[in-house]
Structure 1
Amino acid sequence: MKNLLLVAYLDIRESLRSKWFYVYAVVFGGLMGLFFISGITDSVVMGFTGLSRLLLVFIQVTIIILPIFILITTVKSISADRESNILEYMLSFPISLRDYYWGKFLGRFVTVFVPVIFALIIGVAWGALKGAAIPWAMVLLYSALIFSLCIVFLGIAFFISTTVKSHDMALGIAFMTWIILLAFIDVALIGLMMQNRISDGVIITIAMLNPMEAFRIGAIALFDPELTVIGPVAYYLLDSLGHTLLMLYAVLYPIVLGMVFALLGYTLFRRKDLL
């Protein structure tokens, strides 16, 4: 356990020395600043006001930016160490493969999760200073959704990083993964429905297997429990799961999927040629 925490600490220190971390932090912190300057917390859009309006806009940004940032910055975590011979150097110490792998996973989770949550806390604090009512249940559920989104894309990124040896190949696969998942939120599935070759139930099921779609539906359900903005699909989801189970699915499914990918990555990392 001590070695695992040491590897996590070293990974955090390495991330703090990298430019990507500060770009990542500035993106979310800067967006919060822009939201405040533009007066989003004081506006009324489709019935949403104050912090509810701020969270609604923040969610729309998070679903696009967070996955690609996690994938691009994390897929090089192990593959880059392998290419630069840092992995060989680290394994020359009395550190097990388990401690190295999960230490890197824990360290990278801290560096991708903390800036987003910190930006969210700033938003809540600003709203409190402005005298706005704080929707604590909504804030906690959104924090859980961000947690699950970080876990699933960290798991996918570590799986990619252990599967390929080339850093450039890992980046290419990560970018393609993001494009495919993003396309299957709306574009590809709408095309399938228009062609009417697959039943609606099957299409909706496929869509909900996409962790980005699960996050999106869960985020929408925070503000619109009846899911009226997604049209007739809402009736299928609410009749099949109900609001409570739908929220549990949106939070727990990405976590389980991310850990499955992380475990598969660890299995490959332990069995294949490391160098």
Structure 2
Amino acid sequence: MENLVLIALLDMKESLRARWFLVYSLVFGGLIALFFVAGVTESQVMGFSGLSRLLLMYIQITIVILPIFILVTTVRSISGDRDNHILEYMLSFPLSLSHYYWGKILGRFATVFLPVFFAMVLALLIGVLKGASIPWSLFLFYTGLLFALSSAFLGIAFLISSSVKSSEVALGLSFFVWIFLLAFIDIILISLMMQNRFSEELIIAIALINPMEVFRVAAISLFDPELTVMGPVAFYILDNVKLVYFLLFSIAYPVCLGLLFAFLGFKIFTKNDLI
């Protein structure tokens, strides 16, 4: 356990020294500052105003930004150590593969999740100073969503990093996964739905396999409980699943998916050539 914590702390220190972490933190912190400067908390849309409105805009933007940041900065975690011969050096110590792998995951999770979380905390603090009411239920739920989305894409990133030996290939795969999940699946499913090749239930079920889609629907469900902006997807979800169950699913599913990918990556990491 001590080696696990040491590897996690070492990865966190390396991340803090890297320029990507500074950019990563400034992006999300800058978004909060920009929202306040633009007067987002003063506007009202569909009954949401103040910090609720700000958090809703923030969570929608993170759907696009957070996954690609996690993938790009994490896929080189193991493959980069292998390219720079750091992995060979680390394994020369009395260190087990499990401690190295899971320590890297814990350290990287802290560096990708905490800046996003602290940006929301910053929004609450500024809102309190301005006399705004704090939407605690919305804040806690969105914290769970961000935790779940970070877990899912961290697992995907470590699976890619463990499967390839070149950091350039890992980076290319990360962009492909991000684009595929962000846009390509929706385009394919919409075209299949329009051509009536498959049932709507099957198409929507396939769409909900995508963790980004689950995140998006869950975030919109609190902004628009009737999910009117989702079109036919709304009717299927509301007719077959209670909203509270879907909200729990939107957090549990990405976390389980991330753990599954992380374990698959660990199996590949231990079976492949390490150097």
Normalised-by-shorter TM-score class: over 0.9
Per-residue deviation, 1:107: 0.2
Offset at residue 230 of structure 1 (A): 1.1
* Structure 1 counterpart SS, 2:197: coil
- Write the distance in 1 (CA, Å) between the matches of 2:33 and 2:2: 38
Aligned match of 2:242: 242
**1:80 counterpart = 2:77:** no
Distance across 1 between alignment mates of 2:143 and 2:171: 28
Name 1:190's counterpart in structure 2.
190
Task: Select between 146-155 and 48-57 the one with higher mean Cα deviation.
Answer: 48-57
Asked if 2 retains the 8 angstrom alpha-carbon contact of 1:3 and 1:95, the reply is yes
Matches within 5 A, 1:101-112: 101-112=101-112
Counterpart for residue 34 of structure 2: 34
CA deviation vs aligned residue, 1:81-102 (integer Å, no higher than 9, x gap)? 0011000000001110000000
Superposed displacement of residue 194, structure 1: 1.6
| Distance apart, 1:48 and its partner CA | 1.7
Q: Deviations over 1:161-217 (max 9, x none)?
A: 000000000000000000000014633322221222111111100000000001111
2:109 & 2:261 partners in 1: Cα distance? Answer: 15
Q: Secondary structure, in 3 states, of the residue corresponding to 2:93?
A: coil
Aligned mates of 1:227, 1:126 — CA distance in 2: 30
Question: Residue 19 of structure 1 aligns to which amino acid in structure 2?
Answer: R
Across the two proteins, how many residue pairs are aligned to each other? Answer: 275
Per-residue CA deviations over 1:123-150 (Å, capped at 9, x if unaligned) read 1111222222211111100000000000
Shift in Å, 1:119? 0.3
Aligned to 1:165: 165
The answer on whether the counterparts of 1:184 and 1:207 sit within 8 Å (CA) in structure 2 is no
- TM-score by length of structure 2 reads 0.98
In 2: Cα distance, 1:243 partner to 1:103 partner: 36
Partner of 1:129: 129
Instruction: Specify the alignment match of 1:58 in structure 2.
Output: 58
Q: How does 1:114-263 map to 2 (within 5 A)?
A: 114-184=114-184, 186-263=186-263
How many Å separate the matches in 2 of 1:95 and 1:220? 45
Distance 1:238 1:255 in 2: 23
Q: Cα RMSD (Å) of the superposition? A: 1.0
Secondary structure class of the residue paired with 1:186: helix
Aligned counterparts of 2:194 and 2:260: Cα–Cα separation in 1: 33
User: Larger deviation: 25-34 or 47-56?
Assistant: 47-56
Q: Helix, strand or coil for the counterpart of 1:95? A: coil
Shift of 1:17: 0.8
SS at match of 1:115: helix
2:159 touches 2:262 (CA, 8 Å); kept in 1?
yes
Tell me the residue number matched to 2:4.
4
1:226 Cα offset (Å): 2.1
Q: Is the Cα–Cα contact under 8 Å of residues 8 and 106 in structure 1 kept in the other structure? A: yes
- How far apart are the structure 2 equivalents of 1:185 and 1:44? 32
C-alpha spacing 1:47/1:187, structure 2 compared with 1 (3 Å)? farther
CA distance in 2, matches of 1:232, 1:134: 33
SS in structure 2 opposite 1:206? helix
Contact 2:60-2:219 at 8 Å conserved across structures: no
Inter-partner Cα distance in structure 2 for 1:59 and 1:43? 17
Task: Give me the whole-angstrom Cα distance separating, in 2, the residues matched to 1:80 and 1:154.
Answer: 16
Q: Distance in 1 between matches of 2:30 and 2:196?
A: 43
Q: Which runs of 5 or more structure 2 residues have no equivalent in the other structure?
A: none
- 1:211-252 deviation line (CA, Å, top 9, x unaligned): 000111111122222222212321211221111110011000
Separation (CA, whole Å) in 2 of partners of 1:140 and 1:7 = 30
1:6-48: CA deviation from partner (whole Å, max 9, x where unpaired)? 0000000000110000000000001111001001011112332
Describe the shift of the 1:143–1:253 C-alpha distance in structure 2 as closer, same or farther (beyond 3 A): same
Q: Aligned partners of 1:43, 1:272: CA distance in 2, in Å?
A: 55
TM-score when scaled to structure 1? Answer: 0.98
| 3-state SS in 1 of match to 2:78 | helix
